Chain A
Amino acid sequence: MSDLIYSLSWAQPELWLAGFALAGALVGAWVKDRGAGLLSGAGCLVLIVAGVLAFQFQPRTAQTLFGGALVIDAYAGVAKALIALSAAATLWLGADHFRRTNEQRFELPVLTVLAVLGMFIMASANDLITLYVGVELQSLAAYVLAAWRRDDAKSSEAGLKYFVLGAISSGLLLFGASYIYGFTGSLRFADIAAAAPAGGVGVTFGLVLLLCGLAFKVSAAPFHMWTPDVYEGAPTPITAFFAAAPKLAALVLIGRVLYGPFAELTPQWGQVIAALAALSMAVGAVAALLQTNLKRLMAYSSIANMGFALMPLASGDPAGLTAALLYMAIYLPTTIGVFALIVALRRDGRAAEEIDDLAGLAARRPFMAALFTILMFSLAGIPPLAGFWGKWVVFMAAVRGELVWLAIVGGIAAVIAAAYYLRVLAAIWFKPGGAALQAPSATAMTVAFIGAALSFPILVLALGWLERVANTAVGASF
Chain B
Amino acid sequence: MIETFIVLAPLIAAAIAGLGQRFLGDKLAMALTTGVLGLCCALSLYTFAAFTWGDAPERVTELFRFIDVAGFTSTWSVRIDSLSVVMLVVVTVVSFLVHVYSIGYMADDPHRARFFSYLSFFTFAMLALVTANDFLQMFFGWEGVGVASYLLIGFWYQNKAPNDAAIKAFVVNRVGDFGFALGIMACFFAYGSIRFDEVFAQAAAHPQLMIGVGDISFRAVEVVSGLLFIGAMGKSAQFFLHTWLPDAMEGPTPVSALIHAATMVTAGVFMVCRCASLYELAPYAAGFVTIIGATTAIFAATVGLAQNDIKRVVAYSTCSQLGYMFFAAGVGAYNVAMFHLFTHAFFKALLFLGAGSVIHGLHHEQDMRRMGGVRGPMTITWAMMLIGTLALIGFGVPGFFGLAGFYSKDAAIEAAFAGIEAGRIGAQWAFWAGVGAALLTSFYSWRLLFMTFEGTYRGAAHGHGEHHGHGETHSAHHQQSGAAPAHESPMVMLAPLFVLAFGAVFAGWFFAPYFVGEHAGAFWRETLHVSHGHHEFPDWVIWAPLAVTGAGFVFAVFFYLLNQGLGARIAAAGGPVHAFLYNKWFFDEIYDFIFVKGGRALGNFLWRWGDQRTIDGLGPDGVSASTRFASRQMRRAQTGFVYHYSFIMLIAAVAFGAFAIWAGAQPANGAAP
A residues whose Cβ falls under 8 Å from a Cβ of B: 160-161, 164-165, 168-169, 172, 201, 204-205, 207-209, 211-212, 216, 222-223, 225-226, 228-229, 265-272, 274-276, 283, 286-291, 314-317, 401-403, 416
A276-B656, A316-B672 are known; give 7 further A-B pairs, CB within 8 A: A164-B642, A168-B650, A212-B649, A212-B656, A222-B651, A271-B659, A274-B671
CB within 8 Å of A: which B654-671 residues = 656-657, 659-661, 663-664, 666-667, 669-671
A289 to B624 alpha-carbon distance, docked (Å): 10
Q: Which of B631, B638, B656 contacts A228 (CB 8 A)?
A: B638
- Residues of chain A within 8 A (CB-CB) of B635 are 287, 290-291
**With A286-B634, A290-B635 in contact, is A266–B673 under 8 Å at CB?**
yes
Q: Which of B646, B666, B671 has the most CB of A within 10 A?
A: B671
Q: Which of B661, B663, B667 has the most CB of A within 10 A?
A: B663
Residue of A nearest to B635 (CB): A290
Decide if B650 touches A289 in the complex (CB within 8 Å): no
* B107 close to chain A: CB less than 8 A: no
A272 to B658 alpha-carbon distance, docked (Å): 10
* B653 close to chain A: CB less than 8 A: yes
Residue of B nearest to A229 (CB): B640
Decide if A164 touches B646 in the complex (CB within 8 Å): yes
Interface string of B78-109 (1 = CB under 8 A from A): 00000000000000000000000000000000
* B206 close to chain A: CB less than 8 A: no
Q: How far is the CB of B528 from chain A (nearest CB, A)?
A: 67
* B66 close to chain A: CB less than 8 A: no
**With A208-B656, A229-B640, A275-B659 in contact, is A168–B649 under 8 Å at CB?**
yes
Residue of A nearest to B634 (CB): A287
Interface residues on B, range: 20 to 34
Decide if B632 touches A216 in the complex (CB within 8 Å): no
Interface string of B622-658 (1 = CB under 8 A from A): 0000011011101100101010111011111100110
Q: How far is the CB of A257 from chain B (nearest CB, A)?
A: 14
- Residues of chain A within 8 A (CB-CB) of B649 are 165, 168-169, 172, 212, 216, 222-223, 225
Q: Which of A212, A271, A288 contacts B652 (CB 8 A)?
A: A212
Q: Which of B634, B645, B664, B672 contacts A268 (CB 8 A)?
A: B664
Q: Which of B644, B652, B653, B661 has the most CB of A within 10 A?
A: B653
Q: Which of B638, B661, B666 has the most CB of A within 10 A?
A: B638
Decide if A283 touches B656 in the complex (CB within 8 Å): no
Decide if A211 touches B656 in the complex (CB within 8 Å): yes
- Residues of chain A within 8 A (CB-CB) of B634 are 283, 286-287
Q: How far is the CB of B32 from chain A (nearest CB, A)?
A: 54
A164 to B646 alpha-carbon distance, docked (Å): 9
- Residues of chain A within 8 A (CB-CB) of B661 are 201, 204-205, 268
Q: How far is the CB of A276 from chain B (nearest CB, A)?
A: 8
Q: Which of B652, B657, B664, B666 contacts A222 (CB 8 A)?
A: B652
- Residues of chain B within 8 A (CB-CB) of A268 are 660-661, 663-664
- Residues of chain A within 8 A (CB-CB) of B645 are 161, 165, 225-226
- Residues of chain B within 8 A (CB-CB) of A223 are 649, 652
A282 to B234 alpha-carbon distance, docked (Å): 60
A287 to B630 alpha-carbon distance, docked (Å): 7
Q: How far is the CB of B640 from chain A (nearest CB, A)?
A: 6
A207 to B628 alpha-carbon distance, docked (Å): 35
Q: Which of A169, A266, A267 has the most CB of B within 10 A?
A: A267
**With A222-B648, A267-B670, A402-B671 in contact, is A204–B632 under 8 Å at CB?**
no
- Residues of chain B within 8 A (CB-CB) of A289 are 627-628, 631
Decide if B659 touches A267 in the complex (CB within 8 Å): no
Q: How far is the CB of B306 from chain A (nearest CB, A)?
A: 61
Decide if B642 touches A161 in the complex (CB within 8 Å): yes
- Residues of chain B within 8 A (CB-CB) of A168 are 646, 649-650
Q: How far is the CB of B41 from chain A (nearest CB, A)?
A: 63
A287 to B636 alpha-carbon distance, docked (Å): 10
A286 to B645 alpha-carbon distance, docked (Å): 18
- Residues of chain B within 8 A (CB-CB) of A286 are 627, 630-631, 634
Query: Chain B binding site: helix, strand, loop or mixed by DSSP?
Result: helix
Q: Which of A211, A228, A271 contacts B671 (CB 8 A)?
A: A271
Query: Chain A binding site: helix, strand, loop or mixed by DSSP?
Result: helix
**With A165-B649, A172-B653, A212-B649 in contact, is A270–B670 under 8 Å at CB?**
yes
Interface string of B377-411 (1 = CB under 8 A from A): 00000000000000000000000000000000000
Q: Can you report 5 residue pairs joining A to B where beta carbons are below 8 Å apart?
A: A161-B645, A208-B660, A225-B649, A272-B663, A289-B627
A83 to B671 alpha-carbon distance, docked (Å): 30
A275 to B642 alpha-carbon distance, docked (Å): 24
A420 to B555 alpha-carbon distance, docked (Å): 82
A206 to B443 alpha-carbon distance, docked (Å): 108
Q: Which of B631, B638, B649, B669 has the most CB of A within 10 A?
A: B649
Q: Which of B650, B660, B672 contacts A402 (CB 8 A)?
A: B672
Q: Which of A229, A271, A283, A403 contacts B660 (CB 8 A)?
A: A271
Residue of A nearest to B626 (CB): A286
A164 to B628 alpha-carbon distance, docked (Å): 31
- Residues of chain A within 8 A (CB-CB) of B632 are 290
Q: How far is the CB of B552 from chain A (nearest CB, A)?
A: 73
Q: How far is the CB of A218 from chain B (nearest CB, A)?
A: 14
A164 to B643 alpha-carbon distance, docked (Å): 10
Q: How far is the CB of B666 from chain A (nearest CB, A)?
A: 8
- Residues of chain A within 8 A (CB-CB) of B646 are 164-165, 168
- Residues of chain B within 8 A (CB-CB) of A211 are 656
A354 to B663 alpha-carbon distance, docked (Å): 43
Residue of B nearest to A216 (CB): B649
**With A168-B649, A402-B671 in contact, is A272–B656 under 8 Å at CB?**
yes
Residue of B nearest to A276 (CB): B656
Q: Which of A225, A267, A403 contacts B663 (CB 8 A)?
A: A267
Cβ-closest 7 pairs across A and B: A267-B670, A270-B671, A268-B664, A271-B663, A225-B645, A287-B634, A289-B631
Decide if A208 touches B671 in the complex (CB within 8 Å): no
- Residues of chain B within 8 A (CB-CB) of A169 are 649
**With A165-B649, A272-B656 in contact, is A267–B638 under 8 Å at CB?**
no
- Residues of chain B within 8 A (CB-CB) of A403 are 671
Q: How far is the CB of A316 from chain B (nearest CB, A)?
A: 5
Decide if A401 touches B642 in the complex (CB within 8 Å): no
Residue of A nearest to B651 (CB): A222
- Residues of chain B within 8 A (CB-CB) of A172 are 649-650, 653
Decide if B631 touches A208 in the complex (CB within 8 Å): no
**With A267-B664, A315-B671 in contact, is A208–B630 under 8 Å at CB?**
no
- Residues of chain A within 8 A (CB-CB) of B660 are 204-205, 207-208, 268-269, 271-272
A212 to B650 alpha-carbon distance, docked (Å): 9
Decide if B670 touches A208 in the complex (CB within 8 Å): no
A212 to B654 alpha-carbon distance, docked (Å): 10
- Residues of chain B within 8 A (CB-CB) of A266 are 670-673
A228 to B640 alpha-carbon distance, docked (Å): 9
Decide if B644 touches A209 in the complex (CB within 8 Å): no
Decide if B631 touches A267 in the complex (CB within 8 Å): no
Decide if B671 touches A267 in the complex (CB within 8 Å): yes
A274 to B652 alpha-carbon distance, docked (Å): 14
A172 to B650 alpha-carbon distance, docked (Å): 8
A271 to B657 alpha-carbon distance, docked (Å): 11
Q: How far is the CB of B649 from chain A (nearest CB, A)?
A: 5
Q: How far is the CB of A212 from chain B (nearest CB, A)?
A: 4
A275 to B657 alpha-carbon distance, docked (Å): 12
- Residues of chain B within 8 A (CB-CB) of A222 are 648-649, 651-652
- Residues of chain B within 8 A (CB-CB) of A274 are 671
- Residues of chain B within 8 A (CB-CB) of A216 are 649
A222 to B653 alpha-carbon distance, docked (Å): 9
Decide if A225 touches B659 in the complex (CB within 8 Å): no
Residue of B nearest to A287 (CB): B634
Decide if A287 touches B664 in the complex (CB within 8 Å): no
- Residues of chain B within 8 A (CB-CB) of A164 are 642, 646
A289 to B673 alpha-carbon distance, docked (Å): 37
A225 to B648 alpha-carbon distance, docked (Å): 9
A274 to B660 alpha-carbon distance, docked (Å): 11
Decide if A204 touches B664 in the complex (CB within 8 Å): yes
